[in-house]
Amino acid sequence: MSTTELLRREWTAFCHPGRLVALAAAALTVISVGLLVCLANRSSCDPGPCPSVPVAGDGSTVSDRFWFLHRDLGPEGSITVRMTSMTGTITYPPPNHDQIVSGLVPWAKAGIIVKDGLRQGSPYAALMMTGSHGVRFQYDYEHDVAGSVGGVSERSPRWLRLTRSAGTITGAESTDGRRWHTVGTVKLAGLPNTVQVGLFATSPGDLTLRKVGLGGAIEEVRFTQAVGTFDHVTVEGSATGSWVSSPVGRMNETDWEKDHHPSGAVRHDGGVTVSGTGDIGPRSEEGVPAVAMILLGLTVALIVVIVVAGRYGARTAPGMGSRRVIAAQAAVLGAATFVTGLVAVGVTLPVGLVILEGSGIPVQPVSAATGARVSVGVAAVLALCAMLTYGLGVLLRRGWAAILVGSSLIAVPYAVTAVPLLPDTVSEWLLRLTPAAGFAVQQTMVRYPQVTAHYAPSAGYFPLPWWGGLAVLCAYTAVVVRIALGRSRKPASNTDWR
């Protein structure tokens, strides 16, 4: 019998109504659960409409909120300042959450910045002192260059300078104002002749993790504020105009700012103090939901696929368990499951993103290439999981045993790591060592060293890159199917679907 005839025969045998209904139910589960979750999420702000989420030039959502004391700068010019101190406030940190304390979070920022206007998400380059990471030169949200380490004080002030030449911005630092060290240089495309230059301060929330479940963790974020003190402020090459003090993004709306210390800029004795809250960086402050949130129904679909595959592998008829037949059945099962997954994710992902955006939920845009990778990748993972469980059915000869082992290896690790139940370290190793690692194909969350965030499976971050997780699953599947191909079949005693 030719390979084509064999595949056609096995496809006909596979198309039992029970199996087709089960796979259709798996696809509908992914679609219905995902869309219901998206419809249930709505953003509301009181008073007034919610602020728009900043979007950078590449279409990505970013953080861009700070206090800005600024003035015009022409196509050639510079700003030089001496920073004499940097202080801050953290509201109600652990363990008792009963005091407002002085302090700076690691990525609190104060310094000088060149920016294309005041629109959130516009191109910029900034040279700054940070809470715990010394001097940094950052630009266009994603990019971060380290300067010198150490803090700043009246005894050891830090001089900062940004120089503009058309679209090229250079950041330099000095300890005495005479000998300068270049920290970084960048060419910002499309800068207009006149940009805004000045002093800024911002401070992201204080992130800590609260233990829940069996050691899992959930995020808790508290308001913080950074204050930078400057003198010897010199701007060369400025166009007409005076200094203006204004926020980029909403500010002075929290109880701390209203009742105690509103963000802003204050001039005093030849110097300037700028205080602010927020962040300038590659991730939205609002907490962009991961693609994994839209695909919550995958866990149920995965269990359905495991049940179908385990029973199918265990019911190969006596005398029909040759290597060619087993290979053909695995291919047919994989193809059917792949189509099921592709339809499910191909519908849920784009429609879910549109619903979330329409509901005011900040969503990190997914490019066409990334969306295709996630859709095809998840479909391939489901197909591989089906083939793996089918191989277990062939080896164990009992549908219930294959389902139990397959669920323990794939579904259980995937389910328990998707929620804050186990310690993050345990979840990460489960997604490195088990076949569930394949679900890293959903990865759209990027880990940035200059952003403090909860990079954990329960927050949508997988420890392996998408291709690494897929490789782990492929290895498991190849080993199990290869062993199944090399083992002769004996009659199965259970009565599964035919």
Kindly report, residue by residue over 182-214, the tens digit of the pLDDT: 999 999 998 999 999 999 999 999 999 999 989
Is the predicted pLDDT of residue 319 greater than 50, yes or no? no
Is the predicted pLDDT of residue 84 greater than 60, yes or no? yes
Nearest to 291 by CA among 34, 7, 110: 34
Considering the chain, what percentage of its residues have pLDDT values greater than 70? Answer: 93
Binned at pLDDT 50, 70 and 90, residue 498 comes out as very low
Residue type, 177: G
Is the predicted pLDDT of residue 289 greater than 70, yes or no? no
Residue 495 is predicted with a pLDDT of: 43
In this prediction, residues 31-43 reach a mean pLDDT of: 88
Binned at pLDDT 50, 70 and 90, residue 152 comes out as confident
Over residues 91-114, the pLDDT tens digits come to 999 888 889 999 999 999 999 999
User: Which residue has tokens 């696929």?
Assistant: 305
Domain boundaries, the chain: 3-40+288-485, 63-281
Is the predicted pLDDT of residue 358 greater than 90, yes or no? no
How much of the chain is in helix, strand and coil states, percent to nearest 5?
A: 40, 25, 35
Over residues 434-470, the pLDDT tens digits come to 999 999 999 888 899 999 999 999 988 999 999 999 9
Cross-strand pairs, 138: 126, 144
- Evaluate whether 222 touches 66 at the Cβ level (below 8 Å): no
Over residues 404-442, the pLDDT tens digits come to 999 999 999 999 999 999 999 999 999 999 999 999 999
Residues 6+ apart with CB under 8 A from 112: 79, 81, 126, 127, 128, 160, 161, 162, 197, 198, 199, 200
Over residues 235-266, the pLDDT tens digits come to 998 777 899 999 999 999 888 898 889 999 99
Binned at pLDDT 50, 70 and 90, residue 367 comes out as confident
Considering the chain, what percentage of its residues have pLDDT values greater than 90? Answer: 74
23 versus 155: the higher-pLDDT residue is 23
| pTM reported for the whole predicted model | 0.89
156 versus 345: the higher-pLDDT residue is 345
Residue 47 is predicted with a pLDDT of: 58
Residue 49 is predicted with a pLDDT of: 61
Domain 63-281 sits in CATH 2.60.120 = yes
